[in-house]
Amino acid sequence: MNKPSCIDFFNKIGIRKPRFTRSEYVEHQQRFGSDWMTKIDLAGEGLSGKNMEEFYKVKNSSLDYAIAINSLYYYDFYRQFLEICERRKQLFGDRILDLGCDIGITTCFYAWMNPESQVFGIDIIKESTLRAQELANRLSLKNVKFECASLDEFEGTGFDTVVSTAFVHEAIGVKSIASEVDLYKSLTKLAQHTWRYMSDSGVYISCERLVDDMTVFTWIDTLRSVGFGIDSSHCGVIKWKEMNEQSEFRLVLAKNDLAFGNADIDILCKALRIKRPDKHGIGLLLAGQ
Ligand SMILES: C[S@@+](CC[C@H](N)C(=O)[O-])C[C@H]1O[C@@H](n2cnc3c(N)ncnc32)[C@H](O)[C@@H]1O
């Protein structure tokens, strides 16, 4: 039987399933120096606050180191999500945009899987887009480009497919969200920018760490409020193992087509495994139900 192509892709770029063994630890020590784990742990403290940039500068100091660290944390997520992308290849159009692309693992996979498409990745950290370009060069991909830009700076438009993975919680700065109103405002801004990039018939695939039911339906609600419709038949939950912890990401498919806006709320909540919001919940989600 043929291997799934995302595994071929992993093999090509050196993404490996982590074993968490002593021999793996020693192998990383030999490749990246004795402080390979401590330096990322220390830099990781910045992730919870202002110093996100420092974390990515350390992690993305070299492509191989970044690939090793991403494999350690994200292998199981990449495997599950990219297999879904393979199975739903029809969602990927001629122009594809990856928001918050980091070192371009997902971006390069979309380009590799869709050689006829033009793929763009944007990230706010310069080191990340430089490493992403290196990864594309390693794979001899000619159909992918990267730009160092935040969401409000990026001027591209007309994308048929926009994708974001593990992006929203960092882009809104979860720790700085003090209230539901802040959450609503920040997510609305993100949704507005994303909508601006889309072609008339574009789809937005968001696969995100949304911490609780309130955040999930606020995200759905803000997407709808800016003009997206939600296609519940492509929504779901990805349960994956992040180091030794269980994580859950919500997969939401939004179309630049409000006709999908009236998707049955119970079906949507079931797909996303959240409780149906009560009448005090965010209003738009319930509008017209
Ligand atoms: C957890 S990483 C996820 C990377 C990638 N999507 C993946 O799944 O491998 C989040 C990325 O979002 C980027 N980011 C955060 N806020 C951003 C913003 N406002 N504009 C562009 N990129 C941003 C970070 O620099 C980081 O690379």
CB within 8 Å of 193: residues ≥ 6 apart: 151, 152, 154
Cβ < 6 A, ligand 1 pocket: 56, 100-102, 105-106, 122-125, 128, 150-151, 165-167, 170-171
Q: Which of 102, 127, 150, 196 to mutate to test the pocket of ligand 1 (most atoms within 8 A of CB)?
A: 102
CB atoms within 10 A of CB 284: 15
45/248 Cα distance (integer angstroms): 22
Residue 252 forms beta bridges with which residues?
Answer: 206
First to last CA, the chain: 47
User: What percent of the chain is predicted at pLDDT more than 70?
Assistant: 90
**Amino acid identity at 48:** S
Q: Report the DSSP pairing between strands 118-123 and 144-148.
A: parallel
214/183 Cα distance (integer angstroms): 10
pLDDT (0 to 100) of residue 186: 93
Q: What is the largest CA-CA distance in the chain?
A: 60
Task: Report yes or no on whether pTM surpasses 0.85.
Answer: yes
pLDDT (0 to 100) of residue 4: 56
Average pLDDT of the residues of the chain: 90
pLDDT (0 to 100) of residue 263: 61
Measure 123 CA to ligand 1 centroid, in angstroms.
6
Contact criterion met (CB below 8 Å) for 111 and 141: yes
236/153 Cα distance (integer angstroms): 31
Better-predicted residue by pLDDT, 289 or 30: 30
Q: 46-102 pLDDT, tens per residue?
A: 665 567 888 999 999 999 999 999 999 999 999 999 999 999 999 999 999 999 999
Q: 171-194 pLDDT, tens per residue?
A: 988 766 777 888 899 999 999 999
Contact criterion met (CB below 8 Å) for 266 and 276: yes
Confidence of residue 286 (pLDDT cuts 50, 70, 90): very low
